[in-house]
Every structure is written in structure tokens, then in C-alpha cells.
Chain A
């Protein structure tokens, strides 16, 4: 039997099973008591209002804080107790250091820029990686309360700070502004703007190319931030819907047996590939932009 036929048969079997569960059990109506979409609702835990600016501490702030603390503590801890005979954790960190230094930074910038910006790029990479990864750890942050021996503690829930557009947007704006400043410092204001027009083009043909380049510079803000945000958000939404959201919306508990394996598969895919890959992509693109802004003309 061909692989394609097998896949089609498996999909058809899954579809038939879903329809059969519907026919057999029927819908109990939408379940309004439990709302899994509250994962993305940000309730202020501690109210902090400075005039019109809302600085309340909420779930996203907690996750950001956790990610920064993890980034700083793990790296300084491992750097302090470096051994000449590395254990497994040190080997892993050294591997990621090699990836950040040789692959991400030096591969895209000249050596002077690379030594200057390596710290920034590596921090961004590790910070995004940690905040993506703790996004898949169930932590007691939910609004639902569980009764354990008379004590009401929040139940376990997953959430990622990077699944909120404001966090990737701030990181993107830092990268965007700093590469423009680096470009202007390297070539001067006029020289930097001239560098946007491809070499060999002159006269009237340069004007539309310049306009296109200006637009593409602004599109970079959207693409860089939305890429990270949407990847993490879509991963969390898929896990959310497959691991219970669909069941709650349709009011059909038996369907959970069919969607739970899909949720586990998506969870493994997100943890194993997407979390690391998105951090890598963000850092790589940031260093490509920085390298391109200071490159001596192209």
C-alpha cells in the first residue's frame, strides 16, 4: 500500500470516528463554566497605575521576570563553575555558545561588529529561548482554583510572554533602532541612506527603488515581531484547542480521547522544534540586519 493511501485512510478513519462520537453521544451544549481561552486573558495581580500608564503586574510580567532571572542565573552560574572536564550541562551551554558566536553573530557580521554585538545577540537569543520554553511548563498561574486539603491554589496552566505581541514588538524595536544607529555611525546619515539603493543604479531609476527600500525597512518591524508572536500564539492555540478547548466549545467529552493525542503531538513539535527555531531565527535576522546596515556597500 502506498504511503499516501495510508495517510488518507488514517485521516478518513479519524473523521469517521469524530462523526460517530457525535452521533453516539450528542452535544451537551456549550460548557460555559470552564473557559480555556482565559489562558490569554491578563488579569492584573498587583495594580500599579502611573497616571495613564498601566504598569500592573500580571501574568505576562511574571513570565518576563522569570525568563530574565533564568537567563541571568543559569548563565552566570555555569560560567562561574566552568571545568576543564565538562559535564553534560556545560557541554550543552558550550555548544549553544559556539552556535551563537560562530553561526549567528560571526556568520553575518564582520569581526569588529561581531565582538561588539555578540553580547546583545546572545542575550536576545537566550531570553527568547527561555521565555518560549517556560511557556510550555505548566505553572500555577491559572484563574481556576483547585482545592487541595482546604487550600485554594491556582491550577496549573501554560502561557508564554512571547505569545503577547507587545513583548516581541519591544525586542524588535530595540533591534530596529539599534541597527539604524549603527548604520548611521558607520557611514554617516546620507551615506547610510545612499546604501539602501543597490549599487550600479543611478539617476531617476534610484527613486522608486529607494521608496521600496523604505517600505521594506518598515515592514521588517511587522515581520520580525509578528513571526515570533504568531508562531508561539498559534502553537499555544493548537495545544489549547486540541487539549480541551474543542471539547468545551462543542460540549462533547468523548471527543477529547481523539484530540488529546494530537495535542501531545503538537506539544512535542512546539517544544522540540518551534521554541528553539524561533529564538534562532530572531537572533539570526537581528544580526543579519545589523551586519547589512554596516556592510561596506553591496
Chain B
């Protein structure tokens, strides 16, 4: 793997650095949404155990919140890709 990386670096150093930047940026971008998704599901478990009769309503809001939070990972990823290809 290191030899592949070294070959890529030798051919075009900025491309290798850009690839590393994309990986680090997208990776760091997953931290916040990761915390957020965990928080949403934790809160859902908490509220369902408190009020089990509200389960259906909570579930539909839960998926909305999950999808909205999860999408933030992909914003980081897409902007990383834009930086990589520009």
C-alpha cells in the first residue's frame, strides 16, 4: 500500500496530498453527524420507554431527524470531492 502511495506521490505530489486532504476532511466531517445520529436514537429510546403509546408519532419524526443529520456527512464528502477535482 505504501509503495502505491509513494508511486502516486512521485507522479504528481499535489494529487496525493489532495487525496489525503479529501480523506481527512470527509473523515472529520463524520464526527459531528455521528454524535448527532447517536443522540437522536438515544433520545428516541428514552422517549419511547417513557411514553410507549407515542411510539408511532416518534418513529416518523425519528427518521426525518435521522435523514437530516445523516446528510451532513455527505455535504462534507461532496465538498471534499469538489476540492479534490478542482
Contacts and interface: CB of A to CB of B under 8 A. Distances in A.
A230 B78 contact: yes
A230 B77 CA distance: 8
Instruction: Classify chain B: how many residues form its interface, as a range.
Output: 10 to 19
Q: How many interface residues does chain A have, given as a range?
A: 10 to 19
B4 A250 contact: yes
A227 B74 CA distance: 7
Contact of A226 (B63, B66, B75): B75
B54 interface: no
A281 B60 CA distance: 11
Interface in A225-241: 226-227, 229-231, 233-234
Contacts, number: 44
A178 interface: no
Given A281-B67, A281-B68, A27 B4 contact: yes
Contacts of A230: 71, 74-75, 77-78
Report which residue of A27, A231, A234, A250 has the largest number of chain B beta carbons within 10 angstroms of its beta carbon: A234
A30 B71 contact: no
A277 B60 contact: no
Contacts of A30: 4
A277 B67 contact: yes
Given A30-B4, A277-B67, 10 more contacts: A103-B60, A226-B74, A230-B71, A230-B77, A233-B78, A234-B73, A249-B4, A278-B67, A280-B63, A281-B63
Interface of A: 22, 27, 30, 103, 223, 226-227, 229-231, 233-234, 249-250, 277-278, 280-281, 284
16 contacts: A27-B1, A27-B4, A226-B71, A227-B68, A230-B71, A230-B75, A230-B77, A230-B78, A233-B74, A234-B73, A250-B4, A277-B63, A278-B67, A280-B63, A281-B63, A281-B64
